[in-house]
């Protein structure tokens, strides 16, 4: 799979995705309302970016593949921004 994440996704969207990812993955209370809302927003933004930016350019990249790649990218980015980050 080619790597659209980090190349065609706007920086502000990547920053927001990384912020949401760390809220979800680093949550001390993963069942809290705030965590569920962050996860919903993360998934919604991933779906929007996939539909509007990725799918027209990389039609073979499924939403599942893109979500997985985005999570890996956010995990790596979070570990660089504010180490240490769990699950790197």
57/68 Cα distance (integer angstroms): 18
Mean pLDDT, residues 53-64 taken together:
96
Query: Which residues does 43 contact at the CB level (< 8 Å), separation at least 6?
Result: 67
Asked if residue 18 is part of any domain, the answer here is: yes
The confidence band for 67, taking pLDDT boundaries of 50, 70 and 90, is: very high
Query: Which residues does 52 contact at the CB level (< 8 Å), separation at least 6?
Result: none
Number of other CB atoms surrounding residue 70 within 10 Å: 26
The confidence band for 83, taking pLDDT boundaries of 50, 70 and 90, is: low
Asked if residue 30 is part of any domain, the answer here is: yes
pLDDT in tens, 1-45: 344 444 788 999 999 999 999 999 888 888 899 999 999 999 999
pLDDT attached to residue 14:
94
pLDDT attached to residue 4:
42
Query: Could you tell me the residue range of the domain that residue 59 belongs to?
Result: 11-81
CB-based contact 25:76 (threshold 8 Å): no
pLDDT attached to residue 5:
43
Of 64, 9, 14, nearest to 22 by C-alpha is 14
For residues 3 and 85, the model is more confident at 85
Asked if residue 25 is part of any domain, the answer here is: yes
Of 69, 58, 63, 65, nearest to 14 by C-alpha is 69
Asked if residue 6 is part of any domain, the answer here is: no
Query: Into how many domains does the chain fold?
Result: 1
């Amino acid at each position: 799979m080619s790597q659209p994440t980090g190349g065609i996704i706007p920086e502000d969207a990547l920053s927001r995705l990384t912020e949401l990812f760390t809220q979800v993955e680093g949550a001390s209370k993963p069942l809290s309302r705030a965590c569920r809302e962050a996860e919903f927003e993360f998934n919604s933004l991933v779906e929007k970016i996939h539909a509007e930016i990725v799918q027209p350019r990389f039609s073979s990249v499924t939403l599942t593949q893109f979500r997985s790649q985005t999570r890996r990218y956010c995990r790596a980015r979070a570990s660089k921004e504010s180490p240490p980050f769990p699950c790197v």
